Amino acid sequence: MFSLLNPLVYSPLLLLFSLLFLSKWLFASKSKGSIPPSPPKLPFIGNLHQLGFLPHRNLRKLAHKYGPLMLLHFGSRPALIVSSIEGARDIMKTNDLKFSNRPTKSFGHKLFYDTKDVAFATYGEHWRQLKSIVVMQLLTNKRVQSFHNVREEEAAYMISKIEKQRCSSPSAPVNLSEMFIELTNDVICRIAYGRKYTGREGVRKFKYVLGELVEVLGAFNVADYIPWLGWINRLNGLDAKVEKVGRELDAIMEGVVEEHIERYKREESGGVKEERDIGQQDLVDVLLEIQKDNADKYTLHRDSIKGVVLDMFLAGTDTTFTALEWTMTELIRHPKALKKLQDEVRAVGGGKPLLTEDDVQKMPYLKAVMKEAIRLHPPAPLLIRQSTKDANVLGYDIAAGTQAFINNWAIARDPTLWENPDEFEPERFFKTSINFYGHDFELLPFGSGRRSCPGILFATTVNELGLASVVYRYDFTLPGGIRGEDIDMSEVPGLSNPRKYPLLVFPKPYYTF
């Protein structure tokens, strides 16, 4: 008989517990080394409560505590938060193919024709075909440049509206935000389908529906992260609003496509060729031609045509206008930079009434100003991908289906990458070759890799001409004697985080024509 004090009695138990402890320690060590650090999460909602109203800012705060690569959980969905240039490069270059998807969003299915567009489509043959059409047919350098007359005419029209309002109501400030919205809307309307809504019946509804689209896309949809709480969207009216916006948008897009088809039919039957606002093919013309000429190779569905046009409206208006608005705000807050830009623009313009895009190409400081403003206020603060396969990112194992949020805003303000990162200093771009075409991961306003935005040239040409035209013709003061440095810089939550309050100014003509 063994005594209870005999160590032989306990040896098997000690060995068993030792083995259990060792295996648990080894497993924990392996897990710690293969899974990114994570802040504590709550039951059901995970880390959703830590996003706040401005996720890009709150996620940077979390990154300061937990590191530039974090694994969070938004409801039931794992989310990889990337706040470093190394992580961004690993996802959008090294693992670009594995992170080639967009997260599946129920609103995207309802608003973008069951994701038959480019922006929200699942990675695959359909997406590759559409992306090729957009890059090779719609947004080539040659085609973008061919619309220079449209941009110049609309920039001139914007100046005429500012002048008319200034003269008719000299005591009332001009809403520059509104002017920039109308500029970008009118340009994209004319280029996309040959005419614009300004001055036509339906203008208010069209602008309203586009605004509603941006709002619902930026809204938090609980069903995407906690499916069993989807009933909340029925109670708060979000589902009904999405359905309404979807119907109204489709009516507009359907009308655009049908108008082009009917015109073709009339012209093919021997009718007189109709005059349009622009004397060349618009983007709907190009898409319908591709549909007709490639029917035996690739089926370009009508919904895909409408979806691509809708993508162009969304990308060509909201983010473009937001970039213009923030750039002008930063210039007014920094009068020395504004004066330096005005000196350059006015020297090139030479006193003529209007600027051209050829003039803009001679303005290096203008381009530096745009880069710096977009660095501080990227049109897409968070770049979102989703992994299709298991991947290794910076030594961590990331499971298939994980969403990746690249904090573009945080990287562009990283003090290890940028000197005085929170300051508006356009001159910094004369000391570096960094650009925003997707090769330099310090600056990614348009993303990088397969899912990068193909409309870089389109956006920059509109922005540069619009900004140059305004600062060329006017000097500015603020209402109520407000100083530039006191301008409220609050953001609105959403896709592009525009200014919370419109930019109101008193424009004073520099030239008298």
Q: What is the pLDDT of residues 360-419, one digit of tens each?
A: 999 999 999 999 999 999 988 999 999 999 999 999 999 999 999 999 999 999 999 999
187 occurs within a structural domain: yes
| Assigned domain for 480 exists | yes
Residues 415, 70, 447, 216: what is their CA dihedral angle, to the nearest 10 degrees? -110
Average pLDDT rounded to a whole number, residues 92-120? 88
The label of the residue with tokens 């895009």 reads 357
Calculate mean pLDDT across residues 197-225. Answer: 75
Least confident of 7-16, 74-83, 202-211, 458-467: 7-16
Share of the chain above pLDDT 90, in %: 59
Per the domain annotation, does 46 fall within a domain? Answer: no
**7 confidence band (pLDDT: 50, 70, 90):** very low
> 73: which strand partners?
78
Determine, yes or no, domain membership for 115.
yes
Please, which contacts does 270-276 make with residues 24 or more away whose CB atoms are closer than 8 Å?
A: 276/194, 276/195
Categorise residue 290: left if φ over 0, alpha if ψ from -120 to 50, beta otherwise: alpha
Of the chain, the end-to-end C-alpha distance in Å amounts to: 115
Q: Is residue 495 part of a domain?
A: yes
Residue 413 lies in a domain: no
* Cα gap 498→450, rounded to integer Å: 26
pTM of the model: 0.88
pLDDT of 15 over the 70 cut: no
Tokens at 387, concatenated? 């992994």
Is residue 235 included in any domain, yes or no?
yes
DSSP label at residue 323: H
CATH number of the domain encompassing residue 475: 1.10.630.10
Mean pLDDT of 213-224: 84
Question: What was the pLDDT predicted at 32?
Answer: 45
Q: Is 286 helix (H, G, I), strand (E, B) or coil?
A: helix
- Domain encompassing residue 345: 103-378+454-509
Number of domains the chain contains: 1
Chain centroid, CA 489 distance in Å: 19
**Strand blocks (E) in 59-190:** 69-74, 77-82, 174-175
148-168 and 456-473 helices, crossing angle to 10°: 30
What whole-number percentage of the chain has pLDDT above 70?
A: 90
- 478-505 pLDDT, tens digit each: 999 899 999 999 998 877 888 999 999 9
Hey, what are 244's tokens? 């309404």
Q: What's residue 385's pLDDT?
A: 95
Q: Which of 164-178, 206-220, 416-430, 477-491 has the lowest mean pLDDT?
A: 206-220
Position 277 scores a pLDDT of 52
Q: What is the pLDDT of residue 278?
A: 53
- Identify the pLDDT of residue 293: 83
Does 69 map to a domain?
Answer: no
Distance CA 188, CA 314 (A): 9
d(CA 359, CA 451): 32
342/357 Cα distance (integer angstroms): 16
Tell me which range, 182-191, 425-434, 447-456, is most confidently predicted by mean pLDDT: 425-434
